[in-house]
Amino acid sequence: MVQSGGCSANDFREVFKKNIEKRVRSLPEIDGLSKETVLSSWIAKYDAIYRGEDDVCRPPGRGALSAVSELILSKEQLYEMFQQILGVKKLEHQLLYNACQLDNADEQAAQIRRELDGRLQLAEKMAKERNFPKFIAKEMESMYIEELRSSVNLLMANLESLPVSKGGPEFKLQKLKRSQNSAFLDIGDENEIQLSKSDVVLSFTLEIVIMEVQGLKSVAPNRIVYCTMEVEGGEKLQTDQAEASRPQWGTQGDFTTTHPRPVVKVKLFTESTGVLALEDKELGRVILYPTSNSSKSADLHRMIVPKNSQDSDLKIKLAVRMDKPPHMKHSGYLYALGQKVWKRWKKRYFVLVQVSQYTFAMCSYREKKSEPQELMQLEGYTVDYTDPHPGLQGGQMFFNAVKEGDTVIFASDDEQDRILWVQAMYRATGQSYKPIPAIQTQKLNPKGGTLHADAQLSGKDADRFQKHGMDEFISANPCKLDHAFLFRILQRQTLDHRLNDSYSCLGWFSPGQVFVLDEYCARYGVRGCHRHLCYLTELMEHSENGAVIDPTLLHYSFAFCASHVHGNRPDGIGTVSVEEKERFEEIKERLSSLLENQISHFRYCFPFGRPEGALKATLSLLERVLMKDIATPIPAEEVKKVVRKCLEKAALINYTRLTEYARTEGPAEKDTETMNQATPARKLEEVLHLAELCIEVLQQNEEHHAEGREAFAWWPDLLAEHAEKFWALFTVDMDTALEAQPQDSWDSFPLFQLLNNFLRNDTLLCNGKFHKHLQEIFVPSVVRYVDLMESSIAQSIHRGFEQETWQPVNNGSATSEDLFWKLDALQMFVFDLHWPEQEFAHHLEQRLKLMASDMIEACVKRTRTAFEIKLQKASKTTDLRIPASVCTMFNVLVDAKKQSTKLCALDGGQEFGSQWQQYHSKIDDLIDNTVKEIISLLVSKFVSVLEGVLSKLSRYDEGTFFSSILSFTVKAAAKYVDVPKPGMDLADTYIMFVRQNQDILREKVNEEMYIEKLFDQWYSSSMKVICVWLADRLDLQLHIYQLKTLIKIVKKSYRDFRLQGVLEGTLHGKAYETLHRRLTVEEAAASVSDGGGLQGITMKDSDEEEG
User: 831 or 972, which is more confident?
Assistant: 831
Rounded Cα distance between 122 and 483, Å, is 14
Q: Rounded to whole angstroms, what are the CA distances from 317 to 187, 231, 241, 284, 328?
A: 50, 17, 16, 13, 29
The mean of the pLDDT values for the chain is 82
Peptide bond into 742 cis (omega under 30): no
Tens digits of per-residue pLDDT, 865-919?
Answer: 999 998 888 888 888 898 989 899 989 988 888 888 888 876 644 444 555 455 5
Write down the pLDDT at residue 984: 67
Q: Is residue 543 packed enough to be buried (19+ CB in 10 Å), middle (13-18) or exposed (0-12)?
A: buried
Edge-to-edge strands, sheet with 315-323? 248-257, 204-214, 315-323, 299-302
On whether the CB atoms of residues 234 and 257 are closer than 8 A, the answer is: yes
| Short-list 328, 209, 334, CA closest to 264 | 209
- Give SS3 for 348: strand
Q: Which long-range contacts (CB under 8 A, 24 or more apart) does 925-929 make?
A: 926/857, 926/860, 927/856, 927/860, 927/893, 927/896, 927/897, 927/900, 928/897
pLDDT of residue 167 exceeding 50, the answer is no
Q: Is residue 1037 packed enough to be buried (19+ CB in 10 Å), middle (13-18) or exposed (0-12)?
A: middle
DSSP conformational letter for 373: S
Contacts of 519 (CB under 8 A, 6+ apart): 175, 176
- pTM, entire model: 0.68
> Which of 489-498, 669-678, 824-833, 955-964 has the weakest average pLDDT?
669-678
Q: Rounded to whole angstroms, what are the CA distances from 109 to 174, 201, 283, 428, 662?
A: 11, 21, 52, 9, 67
pLDDT of residue 7 exceeding 70, the answer is no
Percent of the chain predicted with pLDDT > 70: 85
Write down the pLDDT at residue 727: 93
Tens digits of per-residue pLDDT, 637-687?
Answer: 898 899 999 999 999 999 998 888 887 554 443 444 455 567 888 888 899
Averaged over 766-787, what is the pLDDT? 91
Residue 492 has a CB neighbour count (10 Å cut-off) of 17
Phi, psi of 321 (to 5 degrees): -110, 120
Tens digits of per-residue pLDDT, 544-582?
Answer: 888 888 889 999 999 989 888 887 777 666 788 899 899
On whether the CB atoms of residues 588 and 625 are closer than 8 A, the answer is: yes
Write down the pLDDT at residue 592: 93
Q: Is residue 1100 packed enough to be buried (19+ CB in 10 Å), middle (13-18) or exposed (0-12)?
A: exposed
Edge-to-edge strands, sheet with 346-356? 374-377, 359-365, 346-356, 328-338, 406-412, 397-403, 382-386
Write down the pLDDT at residue 945: 92
On whether the CB atoms of residues 733 and 664 are closer than 8 A, the answer is: yes
Residue 466 has a CB neighbour count (10 Å cut-off) of 12
On whether the CB atoms of residues 656 and 604 are closer than 8 A, the answer is: no
Write down the pLDDT at residue 773: 92
Write down the pLDDT at residue 456: 45
Write down the pLDDT at residue 1016: 93
Contacts of 739 (CB under 8 A, 6+ apart): none
DSSP conformational letter for 1104: G
Kind of pairing between the strands at 328-338 and 406-412: antiparallel
CA dihedral sign of residues 802, 803, 808, 809: negative
Query: Per-residue DSSP letters for 66-105?
Result: HHHHTSPPPHHHHHHHHHHHHT--HHHHHHHHHHTTTT-H
Contacts of 283 (CB under 8 A, 6+ apart): 216, 218, 219, 225, 268, 269, 270, 305, 306, 309, 311, 314
Averaged over 1007-1034, what is the pLDDT? 90
Contacts of 494 (CB under 8 A, 6+ apart): 82, 85, 509, 513, 516, 517
Tens digits of per-residue pLDDT, 198-221?
Answer: 888 888 999 999 999 998 888 888
pLDDT of residue 59 exceeding 70, the answer is no
pLDDT of residue 416 exceeding 80, the answer is yes
Percent of the chain predicted with pLDDT > 90: 26
List the end-to-end C-alpha distance of the chain, in Å, as a whole number. 89
User: 674 or 801, which is more confident?
Assistant: 801
Tens digits of per-residue pLDDT, 954-1012?
Answer: 888 877 655 556 555 555 544 554 444 454 688 899 999 999 999 999 898 888 888 99
Q: Rounded to whole angstroms, what are the CA distances from 111 to 154, 248, 358?
A: 17, 50, 12
Query: In which band, very low, low, confident or very high, does the pLDDT at 1096 lie, cut at 50, 70 and 90?
Result: low
Q: What angle do CA 486, 487, 488 make, to 5 degrees?
A: 90
Query: In which band, very low, low, confident or very high, does the pLDDT at 316 lie, cut at 50, 70 and 90?
Result: very high
Write down the pLDDT at residue 146: 86
CA dihedral sign of residues 854, 855, 859, 860: negative
DSSP conformational letter for 635: P
| Short-list 997, 760, 772, 966, CA closest to 875 | 997
Query: Per-residue DSSP letters for 824-856?
Result: HHHHHHHHHHT-SSHHHHHHHHHHHHHHHHHHH
Q: Rounded to whole angstroms, what are the CA distances from 2 to 5, 17, 500?
A: 6, 17, 12
Q: Is residue 17 packed enough to be buried (19+ CB in 10 Å), middle (13-18) or exposed (0-12)?
A: middle
Tens digits of per-residue pLDDT, 61-113?
Answer: 444 445 556 677 888 889 998 999 999 988 888 888 888 888 888 888 888 88
> Which of 181-185, 628-632, 663-667, 1102-1106 has the weakest average pLDDT?
181-185
Write down the pLDDT at residue 433: 81
Query: Per-residue DSSP letters for 206-237?
Result: EEEEEEEEE---SS-TTSEEEEEEEETTS-EE
pLDDT of residue 174 exceeding 50, the answer is no
Tens digits of per-residue pLDDT, 1029-1051?
Answer: 988 888 888 888 888 898 889 98
| Short-list 155, 79, 49, 47, CA closest to 111 | 155
Tens digits of per-residue pLDDT, 573-627?
Answer: 678 889 989 999 999 999 999 999 988 988 888 877 777 888 888 888 888 898 8
Contacts of 637 (CB under 8 A, 6+ apart): none
H or E stretch covering 922: helix 913-953
Write down the pLDDT at residue 193: 62
Write down the pLDDT at residue 920: 61
Query: In which band, very low, low, confident or very high, does the pLDDT at 348 lie, cut at 50, 70 and 90?
Result: very high
The amino acid sitting at 566 is H
pLDDT of residue 445 exceeding 70, the answer is no
Averaged over 928-954, what is the pLDDT? 91
Rounded Cα distance between 374 and 195, Å, is 11
Write down the pLDDT at residue 910: 43
Write down the pLDDT at residue 63: 45
> Which of 12-16, 364-368, 505-509 has the weakest average pLDDT?
12-16
Rounded Cα distance between 823 and 849, Å, is 9
The amino acid sitting at 959 is G
pLDDT of residue 533 exceeding 60, the answer is yes
